[in-house]
Amino acid sequence: MKTIFSFVCFFFAVSLQAQTVVADSTFVNLKEYSQDFVLDMKYATTDNFLKAKVYECEACYLRFKTIKALVEANNDFIRKGYRIKIFDCYRPLDVQKKMWKIVPDANYVANPARGSIHNRGGAVDITLVDETGTALDMGTSFDFFGPESGHDFKEFAKPILKNRKLLKKIMLRNGFESFDSEWWHYNLEGAKKDKLSNFNWQCN
């Protein structure tokens, strides 16, 4: 009995420690928490509107609370036969400044003077893939800067509107907010209050 009691105490202590070690505001690497996402980090390649590789390597860093909500959302999608494909997560403020120089339009790029939720570790740029890994048709590519990227644009075929609706519905259900002019961008609720950041993650 005593052994069982010690065993239970041990587990209680370990789980308590696990809960207290990582604060909600701590930046963490998604891959430490889930392997169920498809990563296609566009800014770690030259395949983006900057035409420049602005991240040294591919990684999805976010505040822990954002990671938790994102994993929950992905679990919902997995139950429906889909998975989240990620284009961007946390983005250092210096990268935001580069983007603003190229596209100084707040509909598509946040002004670095105020900062983006990406700079706060609370925003993700995502789409969905099916069980074969094929991306669902969302009507435009990621970072297409035009009205067609907006949630209000309804002149698409029904399957496209349905795909966007599915993405939005599950993300909103898991604590995220959509962004009117970009179907791919989601902010964790309340993330605006978090501080801007400019650290660069380690590449091994």
Decide whether 125 or 194 has the Cβ nearer to Zn ion. Answer: 125
Beta strands in 31-175 (DSSP E): 38-39, 61-63, 83-88, 123-129
CB of 12 to Zn ion, least distance (A): 40
Segment near Zn ion (CB under 5 A); pick from 41-49, 78-86, 106-114, 183-191 = 183-191
The interface mask with Zn ion, positions 140-179, x = CB under 5 A, is ----------------------------------------
- CA dist 53 and 170 (Å) reads 31
CB of 121 to Zn ion, least distance (A): 12
Q: Which of 125, 117, 145 is closest to 44 using CA atoms?
A: 125
CB of 176 to Zn ion, least distance (A): 12
85 binds Zn ion (CB under 5 A): no
CB of 110 to Zn ion, least distance (A): 8
Q: Which residue has the tokens 């005593």?
A: 2
Active site residues per annotation? 182
Segment near Zn ion (CB under 5 A); pick from 34-42, 46-54, 137-145, 181-189 = 181-189
CB crowding 9-41: b at 16 or more within 10 Å, else e:
eeeeeeeeeeeeebeeeebbebeebeeebeebb
Decide whether 28 or 126 has the Cβ nearer to Zn ion. Answer: 126
With beta carbons less than 8 A apart as the criterion, state whether 63 and 26 touch: yes
Q: Output the six-digit token pair for 41.
A: 């980090």
**Three-state SS at 36:** coil
* C-alpha distance from residue 128 to each of 117, 149, 176 (Å): 21, 15, 16
Out of 185, 187, 191, 194, name the contact with Zn ion by CB under 5 A.
185
Segment near Zn ion (CB under 5 A); pick from 6-14, 49-57, 124-132, 133-141 = 124-132
- CA dist 30 and 28 (Å) reads 6
Decide whether 63 or 185 has the Cβ nearer to Zn ion. Answer: 185
**Residue 185, annotated ligand binder?**
yes
125 binds Zn ion (CB under 5 A): yes
| Count of residues of this chain found to bind Zn ion when the rule CB under 5 A is applied | 2
186 CB-near residues (< 8 Å, 6+ apart): 123, 124, 126, 171, 176, 177, 178, 179
Binding site residue list: 118, 125, 185
Residues that bind Zn ion (CB under 5 A): 125, 185
